[in-house]
């Protein structure tokens, strides 16, 4: 073949052997290991689903919640009843009887919630103490610090 006065050899496919891609049915080189049309891998055991490159990050398990974290969270839940107590006292001193009744109800509810959250906090602190005792005894058994 001549191109601008030069002789150019066009290298045809050295192997004229072709085959059909089992996934997209397009004609490809017989020695191909990957289809140029659908990008499927043409190795044994490949299927259309596992030949498509998918970048899915691995599923991360949530971190276990330790005893100290639970104690801190229960301590934060004690703030809500304290805010309710403050609001109840503010409503209780108002001259309107409706707001006084609402303030009384808010005080009672806040006191009950404060007692419940304090019990939860005590149980969480005990759980945290037991957790750290178990961890330290386990570390001592393995002689980690020796």
**Rounded Cα distance, 142 and 93, in Å:** 62
3: Cα within 13 Å, side-chain hemisphere: 4
Residues with Cβ within 8 Å of residue 29, at least 6 apart in sequence: 13, 15, 17, 18, 19
Cα 138 to Cα 65, 67, 82, 127: the distances in Å are: 19, 16, 39, 16
Q: What is the pLDDT of residues 12-33, one digit of tens each?
A: 445 568 888 888 888 888 888 8
* pTM for the model: 0.42
- Asked if 70 contacts 127 with a C-beta cutoff of 8 angstroms, the reply is yes
Q: Domain spans of the chain?
A: 1-49, 67-141
Q: What is the pLDDT of residues 40-96, one digit of tens each?
A: 887 665 555 544 555 666 667 666 766 667 667 777 777 888 888 898 889 888 889
């Amino acid at each position: 073949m001549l191109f601008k006065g030069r002789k150019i050899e066009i290298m045809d496919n050295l192997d004229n052997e072709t085959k059909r891609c089992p996934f997209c049915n397009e004609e490809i080189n017989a020695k191909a290991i990957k289809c140029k049309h659908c990008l499927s891998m043409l190795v044994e055991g490949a299927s259309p689903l596992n030949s498509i490159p998918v970048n899915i990050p691995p599923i991360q398990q949530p971190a276990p919640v330790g005893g100290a974290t639970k104690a801190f969270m229960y301590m934060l839940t004690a703030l809500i009843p304290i805010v309710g107590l403050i609001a109840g006292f503010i409503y209780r001193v108002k001259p309107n009887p409706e707001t006084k009744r609402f303030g009384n109800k808010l005080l009672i509810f806040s006191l009950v919630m404060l007692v419940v959250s304090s019990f939860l906090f005590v149980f969480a602190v005990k759980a945290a103490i037991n957790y750290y005792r178990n961890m330290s005894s386990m570390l001592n058994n393995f002689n980690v610090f020796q």
